[in-house]
């Protein structure tokens, strides 16, 4: 549904790691951030209403502990590696299912239940249920997730040193960069009267 529009970026850490590899611009990643947070808060409100709860209820569930901190680093690192490994191997169309499967599994093998997303961490603060997180625990979770993302960048560079920006652009849902990003790139034109392509230092506008 949202893939053809924005590449289905629901996670700020994924967006900024993607920017680090040239898949999206830093400006685009920053522009996604408020929408990602607002979407997660809105999701929490809708979930509360669906279960006959108050629309907004601030969670009192404390989750700040060294074990939770480590769990969020591991959960976020694993999530990023799954996404970029699929993109690097040309299987990015499997990413939506793989991400869902990973988060479902990580729910059980991490003590933090694998939030792995700063936006969803903020959103779940607005649900005083078993799924919520107390405001005082949010900063440690977000820091752990950012650390996990930074570690993931290093691991990806080590595992896939030749990853390209085009491959990074296809994480989660394959999409194309904006026209303005490719206008100055040279293209090769094959003329009807010739049997071989003739390199032309032409821009998209001149075609």
- Round to whole Å and give the CA distance between 204 and 81: 35
Q: Enumerate the domain spans of the chain.
A: 3-176, 181-207
Asked whether residue 110 carries a pLDDT value surpassing 50, the answer given is yes
Mean pLDDT of 136-159: 96
Residue 49 — pLDDT band, cuts 50, 70, 90?
very high
Check residue 177 and give its pLDDT. 47
- Flag whether the pTM goes above 0.85: no
Q: Which residues contact 181 (CB under 8 A, 6 or more apart)?
A: 25
Q: Which residues contact 77 (CB under 8 A, 6 or more apart)?
A: 148, 149, 151, 152, 155
Alpha helices in 12-94 (DSSP H): 12-20, 26-50, 66-88
Nearest Cα residue to 24 out of 11, 7, 36: 7
CB hemisphere CA count around 74 (13 angstroms): 16
Maximum mean pLDDT: which of 35-49, 163-177, 185-199:
35-49
Topology of the domain comprising 3-176? Glycerol uptake facilitator protein (1.20.1080)
């Amino acid at each position: 549904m949202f893939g053809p529009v924005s590449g289905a970026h629901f996670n700020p850490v994924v967006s900024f790691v993607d920017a680090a590899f040239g898949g999206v611009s830093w400006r685009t990643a920053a522009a996604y951030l408020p929408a990602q947070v607002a979407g997660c808060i809105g999701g929490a409100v809708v979930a509360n209403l669906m279960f006959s709860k108050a629309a907004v209820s601030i969670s009192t569930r404390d989750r700040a502990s060294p074990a939770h901190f480590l769990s969020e680093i591991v959960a976020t690192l694993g999530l990023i590696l799954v996404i970029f490994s699929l993109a690097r191997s040309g299987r990015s169309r499997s990413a939506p299912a793989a991400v869902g499967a990973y988060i479902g599994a990580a729910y059980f093998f991490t003590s933090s239940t694998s939030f792995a997303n700063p936006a969803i961490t903020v959103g779940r603060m607005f649900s005083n249920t078993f799924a919520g997180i107390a405001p005082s625990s949010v900063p440690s979770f977000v820091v752990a997730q950012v650390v996990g993302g930074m570690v993931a960048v290093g691991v990806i560079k080590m595992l896939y040193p030749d990853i390209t920006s085009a491959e990074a652009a296809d994480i989660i849902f394959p999409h194309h960069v904006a026209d303005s990003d490719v206008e100055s790139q040279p293209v090769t034109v094959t003329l009807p009267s010739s049997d071989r392509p003739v390199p032309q230092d032409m821009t998209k506008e001149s075609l």
